[in-house]
Chains A and B, each alone.
Chain A
Amino acid sequence: MITDIVIVVAAALFIGVYVSWRAGRIDRLHARVDMAQAALDVTLLRRGAVALELATSGLLDPATSLLLAEAVHGTRGGDRPRDLAESDLTRALRAAFSQPGFRSSLTGKEGADELLAEVEAAAHQVFLARKFYNDMVAVTRDARRRPLARVLRLSGKAKAPEFFEMDDSLIGENTTTSLGR
């Protein structure tokens, strides 16, 4: 009798601890998604800032400058959804960087090498940050989808995080540029 009660209490305790651990895990995952999103946000903003700096540097011809600046402008709140606007910026950068002789036309100009390297680095960080963010989103969405999590609503009011899809292959994949990393 006593042992039965002990077993039931122990089982209830165990289940309680387990469920709360699962809920805690989902909560932590959401927090990590938020962090990854903040990081992605920073890298996108940084990329835009450096691209605008390149556009206004006077190093490029005015048409390429205007093209880049328009693309950056588009990422700063417009009617275009963010993923599309950011992809546009990627394509504008790719179009600029993949011009034949682009790099050699700039060598020797003051600050050109540093600025190009900075744009490349910023673009690469976007690529990484987005990858990490989407990984986090995948894990979180998976955790939310488990039967126990669904039945007991372990994710509470938190919305399911969304993947962020965009064209960020400035470097390499679609073009044979000198930008290969």
Chain B
Amino acid sequence: MKIGIVCPYSWDVPGGVQQHIRDLAEALIDEGHEVSVISPADDDTPLPPYVVGAGRAVPVPYNGSVARLSFGFLSASRVRRWVKDGGFDVLHVHEPGIPSLSLLACWVADGPIVATVHTAIPRSRVLLVTFPVLRTGLEKINGRIAVSEAARTTLVEHIGGDAVVIPNGVATRRYRKAEPLPGWPGTGGAIGFLGRLDEPRKGLSVLLKAFEILAPQRPGLRLLVAGPSSDASEILDKVPAELRDRIALLGQVTEEDKVRVLHSVDVFCSPNTGGESFGIVTAEAMAAGLPVVASDIDAFRQLLRGGQAGELFAVGDAADLARAAGRLLDNRARRAELSAAALAAVAQYDWSVVARDVFSVYETVVLGSTQVKVAAANGEFP
């Protein structure tokens, strides 16, 4: 199938939507489909072969902050040309509710169109129902996908019509192999944590308390903590002074280093006390083949198959966490067992599986439809 995907945000800026599109496109290409992505991008940005640049995105105020978006007649005519030359069987637009390429694509194209909504945009309702201009574009969408239940609710309430929920996938093979950081994991054992340090719901304080329990009996045990925080020294202040040099705070790490961090520890800990709908970081750790100790919240229980693919501990209970982590640290065979189980469990969230779900939406909307064409009524500009 020939698939055209529209990305609303600048390709050179890291972001969740861009990453989603990259992983989806690559998974679809692996399945043997022909994929072309159009995205705003600086002219000198190196782009993967399947991405077509739509010109530089313009920084504009949007929703109280500055966003880099592509809009206007020139962008519209670029999308139009791309649609015309592409001969796509289906057009997949992302975030059509923000003023950028996706909305323009809906406007200039006719034919099977699938839209994915990533985030809730509460204010858009006013606008979406107000504008005939917007409505003509949005009404052309044949299939709607929401990446979460929350996004689906917004979509249903604000645009109308229903949507299928297809969550983000995990690009598992990207996590499979990496060089550990120098000196890690060492021989005394290492526990890893990823996430915002000063966000209480990420639960770092629970892990630090558990480390206080574990550390005295295991003189070589270390803690590797990666993630942004407003004040890292404040985090360490809570830990007894003699343990501080056994905790490495890396701050915010790049996507690449994140994988290295995962391969630098023996056990990964997700001490979240709530607020997780899926647990992407935990899934990534599983994809790296790490034995996981996670708090017993809904998202993790599901991800770890009720404890078969990782240890669960009572939410917020440092002593229970210490017990569970201790068991793993002291038992190499159990770690290997959980590592294999984690890899098997996370496979169902791999992009190859998720892309197949997306593809079945494509198949549904192309039924009885022709190729994507340039709309006759709109988009005629010099």
Contact = CB atoms under 8 A, between A and B. Distances in A.
A60 B99 CA distance: 12
Contact of A70 (B73, B99, B101, B132): B99
Counting from the closest, the 6 A-B pairs by CB-CB distance are A63-B71, A88-B61, A66-B99, A67-B99, A63-B99, A99-B72
A50 B336 CA distance: 67
Contact of B60 (A79, A92, A100, A102): A92
Contact of A62 (B61, B69, B137, B382): B137
Given A62-B107, A92-B61, A67 B130 contact: no
Measured as residues with beta carbon below 8 angstroms from the partner, the interface class of chain B is 20 to 34
B381 A105 contact: yes
B64 interface: yes
A69 B132 contact: no
B314 to A, nearest CB: 39
Contacts of A87: 61
Contact of B134 (A66, A79, A80): A66
B181 interface: no
Interface of B: 58, 60-64, 69-76, 98-101, 103-104, 106-107, 123, 126-127, 130-134, 137, 381-382
A64 B382 contact: no
B130 A63 contact: no
Nearest to A52: B130
Contacts of A66: 98-99, 103, 127, 131, 134
Contact of A65 (B58, B63, B133): B133
Nearest to B104: A63
A56 B133 contact: yes
Given A61-B76, A65-B133, A70 B104 contact: no
Contact of A101 (B70, B73, B130): B73
A73 B70 CA distance: 20
Most chain A CB within a 10 A radius of its CB, from B63, B99, B130: B99
Contacts of A137: none
Interface in A20-62: 55-56, 58, 60-62
Dominant SS at the A interface? helix
A95 B60 contact: yes
A174 interface: no
A104 interface: yes
| Residue with the greatest number of chain A CB neighbours at <10 A, chosen from B58, B98, B133 | B133
Contacts of A105: 73, 381-382
Given A62-B133, A88-B61, A100 B123 contact: no
Contact of A61 (B60, B62, B69, B73): B73
B123 A61 contact: no
